[in-house]
Structure 1
Amino acid sequence: MSEIKFGTDGWRGLLARDFTFANVEKAVNAILAHVHYKGMGNKGIVIGYDTRFLGDQFALLATELANKWGMDVYLTDKPTPTPVIAYGVKVKQAAGALMFTASHNPPEYNGIKFIPHYAGPATMEITKDIENHLNNPKEYVSDKKGETSTYNPWKDYKEHLNSILDLSKLKGLKVVVDPMYGAGSDYLPELLEEAGCHVVAINIHKDPYFGGNLPEPNLEHLGDLVEMVKEENAQLGLALDGDADRFGIVDHEGSYYVPNQLIPLMFQYLAKENTTEKRVIRTVATTHLIDKMADEMGFEVTETPVGFKYVGEAMEQGGVLIGGEESGGASIHGHIPEKDGLLVDCLVALMVVSSGPLKEQWEKLLAKYGNFVSKRLDLRVPEDKKAEILNNLKENTPTEVAGLKVVEVNRKDGTKMLLEDKSSWVLFRPSGTEPLLRVYIESDTQETFDKIAAWAKDYLAS
Structure 2
Amino acid sequence: MEIKTIPTTPIDGQKPGTSGLRKKTRVFMEAHYLENFVQSVFDAIGGAEGKTFVVGGDGRYFNAEAIQTILRMAAANGAKHVITGRGGLLSTPAASNLIRKNATDGGLILSASHNPGGVDEDFGLKFNIPNGGPAPESVTNAIFEATCNINRYLTLDTPAIDLETIGETLLGKMTVSVVDPVADYAELMEELFDFTAIREHIANGFEIRFDAMHAITGPYAKAILEDALGAPSGTAINAIPSEDFGGGHPDPNPAWAKDLMNELMSDDGPDFGAASDGDGDRNMILGRNCYVSPSDSLAVLTANAHLAPGYANGLAGVARSMPTSCAVDRVALELGIECFETPTGWKFFGNLLDAGKATLCGEESFGTGSDHVREKDGLWAVLLWLNILASRKCSVSELLLTHWEKYGRNYYSRHDFEALPIADANALMARVSGQLNDLPGKSFAGLEVTKADSFAYEDPVDGSKSSNQGLRIQFSGGARAVFRLSGTGTEGATVRLYVEYLETEPSKLNGDVQLALAPVIEAAHEIADIAKLGRPGPDVIT
Asked whether the two chains share a fold, i.e. TM above 0.5, the reply is: yes
Partner residue of 2:385 out of 348, 373, 392:
348
**2:63 alignment partner AA:** G
Match of 1:198 in 2: 232
Partner of 2:500: 442
Corresponding residue of 1:55? 63
Match of 2:75 among 67, 71, 78: 67
The answer to whether residue 97 in structure 2 is matched with residue 87 in structure 1 is: yes
The percentage of aligned residue pairs carrying the same residue is: 25
8 A contact 2:107–2:127 mirrored in 1: yes
Q: For 2:471, which of 411, 415, 427 is the aligned residue?
A: 415
The yes-or-no answer on 1:386 pairing with 2:409 is no
Contact 1:83–1:245 (CA under 8 A) maintained in structure 2: yes
Contact 1:278 1:298 in 2 (8 A): no
Residue type of the partner of 1:192? L
Matched, 1:277 2:315: yes
Match of 2:539?
A: none
SS in 2 for 1:148: strand
User: For 1:379 and 1:102, how far apart are their aligned partners in 2?
Assistant: 20
Secondary structure of 1:336's match?
Answer: coil
- Residues 1:100 and 2:128 aligned together: no
What is the CA distance between 1:351 and its match in structure 2?
1.8
- Residues 366-425 of structure 1, C-alpha deviation per residue, up to 9 Å, x if partnerless? 11122321111224765224334433433431223423333233422221122222x111
Correspondence for 2:166: none
Per mean C-alpha deviation after superposition, the further-off stretch among 172-181 and 131-140 is 131-140
Is 1:306 aligned to 2:344, yes or no? yes
Aligned-partner SS, 2:83: strand
Deviations 1:170-208 (A, max 9, x none): 112431121101111111121112123335221122322
CA distance in structure 2 between the aligned counterparts of 1:367 and 1:245, rounded to whole angstroms: 30
Q: Deviations over 1:410-457 (max 9, x none)?
A: 422221122222x11111112334444211111125666211211222
Q: Which moved more, 1:226-235 or 1:293-302?
A: 226-235
Q: Does 1:124 align with 2:137?
A: yes
1:452 aligns with 2:510: no
CA contact (8 A) 2:272 2:286 kept: yes
Q: Structure 1: which 4+ aligned runs deviate by more than 6 Å?
A: none
C-alpha distance in 2 between matches for 1:2 and 1:212: 30
Aligned residue type for 1:257: V
Which residue pairs with 2:185 in the alignment? 157
User: 5+ residue gaps in structure 2?
Assistant: 1-10, 157-171, 456-468, 504-512, 533-542
- Name the residue aligned to 1:290: 328
Find 1:428's aligned residue among 471, 475, 483: 483
**Secondary structure of 2:359 counterpart:** strand
**Superimposed CA distance per residue, residues 196-247 of structure 1 (whole angstroms, 9 cap, x where no aligned partner):** 3335221122322223221000011212223455598532112110110111
Q: 1:77 to 1:232 in 2, by over 3 A?
A: farther
SS of residue matched to 1:372: strand
Return closer, same or farther for 1:411/1:51 CA change in 2, 3 Å cut-off: same
Q: Is contact 1:122–1:309 with CA below 8 Å preserved after alignment?
A: yes
Match of 2:150 among 137, 146, 165: 137
Q: Distance in 2 between matches of 1:386 and 1:206?
A: 35
The aligned residue for residue 252 of structure 1 is 288
Aligned to 2:207: 174
Shift of 1:142: 10
Deviates more, 1:113-122 or 1:230-239: 230-239
Q: Distance in 2 between matches of 1:232 and 1:93?
A: 47
The one-letter code sitting in structure 1 at the alignment partner of 2:447 is: L
Q: Deviations over 1:313-371 (max 9, x none)?
A: 322221323100000111124x0121111111111111221221110011111111223
Tell me the C-alpha RMSD between the 2 structures.
Answer: 2.4
Residue deviations 1:70-117 (CA, integer Å, cap 9, x gap): 102223212221111111111221111111111110222111121111
Which residue matches 2:52? 44
Partner of 2:252: 217
Distance 1:358 1:401, change over 3 A: farther
Name the CA shift for 1:252/1:192 in 2 (closer, same or farther; >3 Å).
same
Task: Name 1:238's counterpart in structure 2.
Answer: 274
Which stretch of the first structure deviates more once superposed, 59-68 or 261-270? 261-270
What SS is found at the alignment partner of 2:242?
coil
Distance 2:340 2:327 in 1: 14
Kindly indicate whether residue 16 of structure 2 is the aligned counterpart of residue 30 of structure 1: no
CA-CA distance at 1:7 after TM superposition: 1.0
3-state SS, counterpart of residue 405 of structure 1? strand
Give 1:130's aligned amino acid: I
Counterpart of 2:334 in structure 1: which amino acid? E
Query: Matches of 2:314 and 2:116 in 1, distance apart?
Result: 41
Please tell me whether residue 76 in structure 1 is matched to residue 80 in structure 2: no
Q: Give the Cα separation in 2 of the matches to 1:82 and 1:20.
A: 25
The amino acid that maps onto 2:177 is S
Alignment of 1:109 onto 2:122: yes
- Segments of structure 1 that go 5 or more residues without pairing to the other structure are none
| Corresponding letter in the other structure for 1:134 | T
Verify: 1:6 aligned to 2:16, yes or no.
yes
The residue number in structure 2 matching 1:317 is 355
**Structure 1 SS opposite 2:131:** coil
C-alpha change, 1:157 and 1:263, in structure 2 (3 Å) is same
In structure 2, how many angstroms separate the alpha carbons of the residues matched to 1:217 and 1:436?
Answer: 18
CA offsets 1:271-306 (integer angstroms, 9 cap, x no match)? 565444331100100111111222122121110011
Change (3 A) 1:101 1:141: closer
Does the Cα contact within 8 Å between 1:101 and 1:110 map onto a contact in 2?
Answer: yes
Give TM-score scaled by structure 2 length. 0.79
Does structure 2 conserve the Cα–Cα contact (< 8 Å) formed by 1:70 and 1:142? no
CA contact (8 A) 2:72 2:155 kept: no
Counterpart CA distance in 2 for 1:186 and 1:20 is 31
The match for 2:219 is: 186
Q: What one-letter code is carried by the residue in structure 2 that aligns with 1:28?
A: V
Say how many residue pairs are matched: 457
Q: Using a 3 Å threshold, how does the CA distance of structure 1 residues 361 and 276 change in structure 2: closer, same or farther?
A: closer
Question: What CA distance in whole angstroms lies between the structure 1 residues aligned with 2:516 and 2:256?
Answer: 28
Provide the C-alpha distance between the structure 2 equivalents of 1:182 and 1:136, rounded to a whole number of angstroms: 36
Q: How far, CA to CA, are the matches of 2:55 and 2:417 in structure 1? A: 38
Residue 76 of structure 2 contacts residue 155 of structure 2 at CA under 8 Å; is this kept in 1?
Answer: yes
* DSSP 3-state at the match of 1:120: coil
- Deviation, structure 1 residue 268: 0.9
**Aligned equivalents of 1:91 and 1:382: distance in 2?**
44
Contact 2:447 2:519 in 1 (8 A): no
Task: Give the secondary structure class of the aligned counterpart of 2:217.
Answer: coil
Contact 2:22 2:112 in 1 (8 A): yes
